[in-house]
Chain A
Amino acid sequence: MRAARNPNHAIAAAVAAVAAAAFAGTFWFDPVPEGLPGLGAVDFPRLVCVLLFLLAGLLALKQGSRPSEEEAPPLDRGAWLIFGACLVFLPAMEVLGIWGAIPIFLVATGLIWGEVPLRTLVLNAIGLTVALWVVFVRIFQLTLPSGWLGAMLGR
């Protein structure tokens, strides 16, 4: 029976939930100071929320088609691992600094992705990291997070 379910229902429910949450959120805004002319702070966001709600309702009424394998292939373990790696990148940046996190990320995700030998991945990771460092730190002089490790090394 699962295949017969209308996928639009789930999408519409998610959209409606966002709209409802945002609508509720408008009640926690600070009060608008007295004596200001024009529309207040809450009117426009509320209007948009109502609009979203209506659109979600319309969407739920329509019969949607299940996305094909081509559009949305099932997620395998590797995909989830890569998602995880992306998520871990932030704390890694805090600890190792961006110049430590980048090469590790490049090699790790590259391995999960597959097809490219480790040696190529390592060489590519080193080369790219150095290139990025030269461009952003030496030429543009941007300050990028150096992390605890970087702080210990005296940067």
Chain B
Amino acid sequence: MEAFLGGLAILVDPYVMLMVLLGTVLGIFVGALPGISGSTTIALLLPMTIAMGPVPAICFLGAIYCAANFGGSITAIMVNAPGDPSASATALEGYKMAEKGQAGLALGMSAVSSAIGGIVSVIVLIFAAPMLARAAYSFGPPEYFALALFGLSMCAAIGGDSPIKNLIAAALGLLIATVGMDLTTGVERFSFGIYELSDGIGFVPVLIGLFAVGEMLDQAARRVGKAQIIHLDAARVPGWAEFKKCNRSIWIGSGIGTFIGALPALGATTAALIGYNETRRWSKYKHEFGKGSIEGVAGPEAANNAAVGGSMVPTLALGIPGSATTAIILAALIVQGVRPGPHLFNEQPTLLYAVFASMLAANIFYLVMGLYMAKLFARISLIPPAILWPAVFVLSIIGAYGPNQSMGDVVIMLVAGVVGFLFRRTGFSPAPLIMGLVLGGMVEETLKQSLIIFGDDLTGFLGRPIALALFAVTATGLLWPVLSRLLRVARAARA
């Protein structure tokens, strides 16, 4: 506790405070740009931060990481172009809300639920990190396989106008995930000798293409003869009533996000998608989903920001980064002299609590900024489309090219854009495809790894209680509609 107060005291230093503020503003900004994510920014700015000294540098980078996850939701809601991969679930309902003229409501709720999710996860991180980190060790390939199946099992329910179409989109996602070198055999698949394809199809260009470019093409097709959106309500921010409605979703999202984030192999994007599924499953207003549900914004936003704190658990307590993003954070921390691991909590409490304090502060900063500026951001919908959409396209190109400096990624993005456009015109949704792409690689890889570990014997799964429990949950979830109907019939018969 003393160390924590010491950590808070660090924040009193105006220089450190300034760095957190700067990091938050920068984080929101880059988060909102499609393709340029918080992790890319941190990698690019890393050499610059060396001169700052450890505490301000850590606070600066931590703030970028936290704020970028929130920033991604701004463009997701306003132009259906998730600025950060983890905001793709937010776009599903958020953009529909903006189309209905409720942009301010969606943006405000995103800020509130993001901040709550973020703060909850940091508090969990402070008190339970070493304990949660132990859980990481009990998750091997068989457990991840079960978890990935659980994630995929919801595909039929989300997105487009029929379950069959959703499943087709998900299967296409699975197929795309197999492109590139196969991890367990070293064989190149569907790469046709093109080097750009041998590392697999990047997630970010597909995402930008499906959402941002697809939307731009669609808008180009409906330039004329479309009634203008009514902007009267656009600037209204959420009040107590909305908050009460979303209360449950926010807690579900925060819990799922923290847990998923704490598992090393899964990140904020998966957390947000599963958060969206579960929010929908437990919602009292299920019919609103797909038509701009405010709960559908609150749940995934809470989840993806909670995953930020969660992902710091294995990173700090085990020195094992779960994803590319946390790998960069870890590198940044290590370069600043933080030695992650179980000892960190005793040996370097000052630096550790500087991380916590800056994350808390960044969450509070962007909450204030997000609520205050929601009205401003909501005015994006007032920009004439002839200026807005070409600009979105240009940003998409830079965003697809930037991280890997690859023309191949730009081409992939354009192809995905055409697919996204066709999807919109034929009643498909990009959401299941994204899920298939994110989880598909994991399903296949973890299954193959499990089989190698079990010596090609499927019964090996029987010896893994966690995996079995997850299989059971998945099966119950799939059969629930049938089961509940049977129960109702039985009850009616008795009455």
Q: Which residues of A contact B167 (CB under 8 A)?
A: 55
Question: Beyond A29-B187, A36-B184, A115-B384, is A141–B44 a contact (Cβ under 8 Å)?
Answer: yes
For chain B, the count of residues having a C-beta within 8 Å of the partner chain is 64
- The answer to whether A39 and B451 touch across the interface, beta carbons within 8 angstroms, is yes
- The answer to whether B401 and A86 touch across the interface, beta carbons within 8 angstroms, is no
Interface of chain A, main secondary structure: helix
Q: In whole angstroms, how far apart are the Cα atoms of A91 and B236 in the complex?
A: 44
- The answer to whether A145 and B164 touch across the interface, beta carbons within 8 angstroms, is no
Question: Beyond A44-B178, A48-B175, A115-B384, is A86–B217 a contact (Cβ under 8 Å)?
Answer: yes
Q: Which residues of A contact B36 (CB under 8 A)?
A: 140
Interface of chain B, main secondary structure: helix
- The answer to whether B185 and A25 touch across the interface, beta carbons within 8 angstroms, is no
Q: Is B481 part of the binding interface, using a Cβ–Cβ cutoff of 8 Å?
A: no
Q: Is B386 part of the binding interface, using a Cβ–Cβ cutoff of 8 Å?
A: yes
Q: In whole angstroms, how far apart are the Cα atoms of A52 and B174 in the complex?
A: 10
Question: Beyond A48-B178, A114-B223, A114-B386, is A140–B187 a contact (Cβ under 8 Å)?
Answer: no
Annotate A143-155 by CB proximity to B: 1 below 8 A, 0 otherwise: 1110000000000
Annotate B425-469 by CB proximity to A: 1 below 8 A, 0 otherwise: 111000000000000000010011101100110000000000000
Q: Whole-angstrom distance from the CB of A109 to the nearest CB of chain B?
A: 4
Q: In whole angstroms, how far apart are the Cα atoms of A48 and B171 in the complex?
A: 6
Which among A31, A38, A49, A121 is the interface contact of B456 at CB below 8 angstroms? A38
Q: Which residues of A contact B397 (CB under 8 A)?
A: 89, 93, 98
For chain A, the count of residues having a C-beta within 8 Å of the partner chain is 69
> Which residues of A12-32 are within 8 A (CB) of B?
15, 18, 22, 25-26, 29-32
Q: In whole angstroms, how far apart are the Cα atoms of A52 and B427 in the complex?
A: 17
> Which residues of B168-197 are within 8 A (CB) of A?
168, 171-172, 174-175, 178, 182, 184-190
Which among A51, A78, A83, A98 is the interface contact of B217 at CB below 8 angstroms? A83
Q: Is A1 part of the binding interface, using a Cβ–Cβ cutoff of 8 Å?
A: no
- The answer to whether A22 and B386 touch across the interface, beta carbons within 8 angstroms, is no
Annotate B361-376 by CB proximity to A: 1 below 8 A, 0 otherwise: 0000000000000000
Q: Whole-angstrom distance from the CB of A130 to the nearest CB of chain B?
A: 13
Q: Is B390 part of the binding interface, using a Cβ–Cβ cutoff of 8 Å?
A: yes
Q: Whole-angstrom distance from the CB of A146 to the nearest CB of chain B?
A: 12
Task: Give the nearest-CB partner of B179 in chain A.
Answer: A45
Task: Give the nearest-CB partner of B183 in chain A.
Answer: A41
- The answer to whether B168 and A55 touch across the interface, beta carbons within 8 angstroms, is yes
Q: Is B222 part of the binding interface, using a Cβ–Cβ cutoff of 8 Å?
A: yes
Q: Which residues of B contact A140 (CB under 8 A)?
A: 36, 41, 44-45, 402
Stretch with Cβ within 8 A of A (4 or more), from B294-302, B308-316, B404-412: B404-412
Q: In whole angstroms, how far apart are the Cα atoms of A62 and B187 in the complex?
A: 38
Q: Whole-angstrom distance from the CB of B391 to the nearest CB of chain A?
A: 6
Which among A25, A33, A64 is the interface contact of B190 at CB below 8 angstroms? A25
Task: Give the nearest-CB partner of B455 in chain A.
Answer: A37
- The answer to whether B168 and A109 touch across the interface, beta carbons within 8 angstroms, is no
- The answer to whether B452 and A38 touch across the interface, beta carbons within 8 angstroms, is yes
Q: In whole angstroms, how far apart are the Cα atoms of A15 and B168 in the complex?
A: 8
> Which residues of B205-251 are within 8 A (CB) of A?
213, 216-217, 220-226
- The answer to whether A110 and B390 touch across the interface, beta carbons within 8 angstroms, is yes
Q: Is B162 part of the binding interface, using a Cβ–Cβ cutoff of 8 Å?
A: yes
Interchain Cβ contacts under 8 Å between A and B, 28 examples: A15-B172, A18-B172, A31-B187, A38-B452, A41-B182, A52-B171, A55-B164, A56-B168, A59-B164, A67-B427, A72-B221, A73-B221, A73-B226, A78-B220, A79-B221, A82-B220, A83-B220, A87-B414, A98-B397, A105-B393, A106-B394, A110-B390, A113-B220, A132-B398, A136-B402, A140-B402, A142-B44, A143-B405
Name 18 extra pairs, CB < 8 A, besides A76-B224, A115-B385: A7-B426, A30-B187, A36-B185, A37-B451, A37-B455, A38-B448, A52-B175, A55-B167, A67-B425, A67-B426, A71-B427, A72-B221, A72-B426, A78-B224, A98-B397, A140-B41, A143-B405, A144-B402
Q: What is the interface of chain B, defined by CB distance below 8 A to chain A?
A: 36, 41, 44-45, 162, 164-165, 167-168, 171-172, 174-175, 178, 182, 184-190, 213, 216-217, 220-226, 384-387, 389-391, 393-395, 397-398, 401-402, 405, 407, 410-411, 414, 417, 424-427, 444, 447-449, 451-452, 455-456
